[in-house]
Chains A and B, each alone.
Chain A
């Protein structure tokens, strides 16, 4: 029996880990039933006096992640996959608003980095109103399909990486459920440009408004990859079905590798990873991950994470 066999047997025998497929070294195993595990609100940068009015408008309100028992008006506590609590990202009920949770590490090597998670996405339930609320976007309530599904915009998993003399870049995978007009698109996307940074605003190059898409504000700077994919929203806003996501990037080659979501594996090797032109200081070996959720309606959107496992081959 080899070391690899023993490791495989140990992973398979552990009900907490056997639902994952980690690379050889596990950097983080975050079961949110026991806390937030370092996933915190992202906030833009501010001046040397702590003056928060100097934070960029589009990066000042990404909302604190919550430990959620997935409580709903109709059934009470739904609970998570691995216990009672999940990490919840919640937008404001404001079209375009984004909630972001970030986890900050650094790299002690280069090579493959894999993030796995079990997630679910929902819109907030609407209570009351008239029969006009039975229709939204492409959906007319028919006993099964529910307008809530069309009220969900997009969720994103991404990195912020820097090294090798200040070369900074992001890898990004976004599931766009609807476009900004609330029509279903149900596709995976990635930006072709790097994310705007506070320095560009400071230097007078970019000034984005509140609720702009901070990852890449111009819709034309996004391109689809893979084929459209229908996920399991499950009709009403209060049924939580957990999806598996596994995403691999290569920090040696500074490339995407692949994205698996449930039974679909998408080759991402041709998905661009645009670097910043200028070099960055104080970010050497930066290894950040973030999840975000963006509403395309005036309804709160939620991204629930049961657990996250980050592993590497170095």
Chain B
């Protein structure tokens, strides 16, 4: 399944995506596309035991610049996934999460 967690949303400060349940999935991959804005953002994958309380899955930051589409796989997650982002400037973001059983 593919979920579009942000659809061309503009951010100029740090943000996190809405919680998404992936209990049924064994694989996941983020696609983060900066479709507008001249800023950059760095993203970290977060996991949660309950969809309310979150921690980083790992220490790998993914930097996305203007116009870029960046993708990375996620493994070893629990039943929830989200991204947190630090934004420098203004970014317009499209975020897909692709998950498979």
Verify A71–B7 contact, CB threshold 8 A.
no
Distance, CA A69 to CA B79, complexed state (A): 9
Q: How many residues of B contact A (CB 8 A)?
A: 19
CB-CB under 8 A from B19, the residues of chain A are 90
B24 at the interface (CB under 8 A from A): yes
Interface of B is mostly: loop
20 A-B interface contacts by CB (under 8 A)? A36-B1, A41-B4, A52-B7, A64-B3, A64-B20, A66-B3, A66-B21, A67-B21, A69-B21, A69-B24, A71-B21, A71-B23, A71-B51, A73-B50, A73-B52, A73-B53, A84-B23, A85-B23, A88-B21, A124-B52
Shortest Cβ distance from B11 into chain A, in angstroms?
14
Contact of B8 among A41, A53, A69 (CB under 8 A): A53
Query: Does the CB pair A64–B5 fall under 8 Å?
Result: yes
Q: Which of A59-81 contact B (CB under 8 A)?
A: 60-61, 63-64, 66-69, 71-73, 77
Within the complex, what minimum Cβ distance (angstroms) separates A126 from chain B? 9
CB contact under 8 A between A64 and B4, given known A69-B21, A85-B24, A127-B52: yes
Which residue from chain A places its CB closest to the CB of B19 in the assembled complex?
A90
Distance to closest chain B CB from A43 (angstroms): 8
Q: Looking at the assembled complex, report how far the CB atom of A154 sits from the nearest CB atom of chain B, in whole angstroms.
A: 20
Known: A68-B23, A69-B21, A90-B19. A60 touches B7 (CB 8 A): yes
Would you call B49 and A73 a contact (CB within 8 A)? yes
Chain B residues whose C-beta falls within 8 Å of the C-beta of A125 in the assembled complex: 52
